[in-house]
């Protein structure tokens, strides 16, 4: 088992890092030594409006913790500007997390041109624009790590998310090809389908899983967050598809998730919240 995973000297662009999951990624990379470009347009969850305050706040958080970060307020559709911010400030781009996203949920028959176009433009076209600008820089460096953000809504479909589902699995296709073309330049491209309690998932959790391994229960010794080292040290188990499970619905998937949470709870001897006990009045 190695020591702490560090990103000293690496430059990481995180799109949509002014809140939610992107903010967590940015703070973590910043705490591990990466120089971070915190990109965020600062609009609302539907993609309307804009503000510089979301990105500025996260930059302040990273700097206050002793890290290095700069803000960029462009939409991901202006991907070249975001990459240029990294080059102007830090001279390279090693890591790109395509995370920015919006939702414009509507049942399929009611999906307007605007609902379709905006979701496609932020998720799929946006990731394309930023990645296309970063790729030649990474190729020249012979180093690059790119993450695309898909969703279980794309994998299974989800009521009211035709636009989002299509864009999200489009990102998987894009990632697969970028990974093939990037391989000989030491550019790796992977796709994640995260789950997180953010403004995009208010009232929606939990979504489904396609097929998944039994995984591994990771818990920080401090009882707060899972560390990248735990993921690394349990990686063989995490990717072991022997006896993989195939939940057919959100409910089945939730049962698996709850089982894993119970395992964590038993391991850490955290007592159940008394207000959730059946005998609580
Ligand atoms: P969030 O709404 O908290 O964060 C998304 C961020 O992207 C916001 O700060 C927003 O201002 C920014 N953004 C939106 N449009 C932008 C644009 N054109 N240019 C630059 N920034 C823009 O959402 P959350 O939940 O953190 O989502 C992050 C990513 O993870 C999204 O791609 C989302 O689709 C994906 N995802 C999230 C899941 C969840 O459980 N939260 C589940 C599956 C996927």
Residues 37-95 have pLDDT tens digits of 999 999 999 999 999 999 999 999 999 999 999 999 999 999 999 999 999 999 999 99
Length of the chain: 281
Residue 252: is its pLDDT beyond 90? no
State both tokens at 272: 């159940």
pLDDT score for 65:
98
Instruction: Reply yes or no on whether 164 is catalytic.
Output: yes
Q: Select the highest-mean-pLDDT range: 32-41, 230-239, 265-274.
A: 32-41
Residue 279: is its pLDDT beyond 60? no
The residue to mutate among 39, 61, 200, having the most atoms of ligand 1 within 8 angstroms of its beta carbon, is 200
Residue 186: is its pLDDT beyond 50? yes
Domains of the chain are: 11-203 (3.40.50.720), 208-268 (1.10.287.4290)
Q: By alpha-carbon position, which residue is closest to atom 8 of ligand 1?
A: 16
Q: By alpha-carbon position, which residue is closest to atom 41 of ligand 1?
A: 196
| Residue 95, strand partner residues | 12, 145
- Compare 133 and 255 and report the one with higher pLDDT: 133
Report the separation in Å between the CA atom of 275 and the middle of ligand 1, taken as the mean of its atom positions: 33
Q: How far is CA 88 from CA 1, 107, 143, 231, 252, in A?
A: 37, 43, 19, 33, 49
pLDDT bin (cut points 50, 70, 90) of residue 276 is very low
- 99-130 pLDDT, tens digit per residue, is 999 999 999 999 999 999 999 999 999 999 99
Does the model's ipTM exceed the 0.95 cut?
Answer: yes
């Amino acid at each position: 088992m190695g020591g702490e995973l560090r990103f000293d000297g690496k430059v990481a662009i995180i799109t949509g890092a002014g809140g939610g999951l992107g903010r967590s990624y940015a703070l973590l990379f910043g705490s591990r030594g990466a120089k971070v470009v915190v990109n965020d347009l600062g609009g609302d969850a539907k993609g309307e409006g804009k503000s510089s305050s979301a990105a500025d706040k996260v930059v302040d958080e990273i700097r206050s913790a002793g890290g290095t970060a700069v803000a960029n307020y462009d939409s991901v559709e202006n991907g070249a500007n975001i990459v240029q911010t990294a080059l102007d400030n830090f001279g390279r781009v090693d890591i790109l997390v395509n995370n920015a996203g919006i939702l414009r949920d509507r049942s399929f028959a009611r999906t307007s041109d605007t609902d379709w176009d905006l979701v496609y433009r932020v998720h799929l076209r946006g990731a394309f624009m930023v990645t296309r600008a970063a790729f030649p820089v990474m190729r020249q460096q012979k180093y690059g790590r790119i993450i695309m953000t898909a969703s279980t809504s794309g994998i299974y479909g989800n009521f009211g998310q035709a636009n989002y589902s299509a864009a999200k699995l489009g990102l998987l296709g894009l990632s697969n090809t970028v990974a093939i073309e990037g391989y000989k330049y030491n550019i790796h491209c992977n796709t994640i389908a995260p789950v997180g309690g953010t403004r995009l998932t208010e009232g929606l959790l939990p979504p489904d899983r396609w097929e998944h391994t039994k995984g591994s229960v990771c818990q920080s010794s401090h009882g707060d967050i899972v560390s990248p080292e735990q993921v690394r040290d349990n990686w063989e188990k995490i990717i072991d598809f022997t006896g993989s499970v195939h939940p057919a619905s959100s409910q089945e998937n939730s049962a698996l998730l709850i089982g894993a949470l119970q395992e964590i709870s038993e391991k850490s001897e955290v007592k159940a919240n008394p207000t959730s006990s059946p005998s609580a009045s």
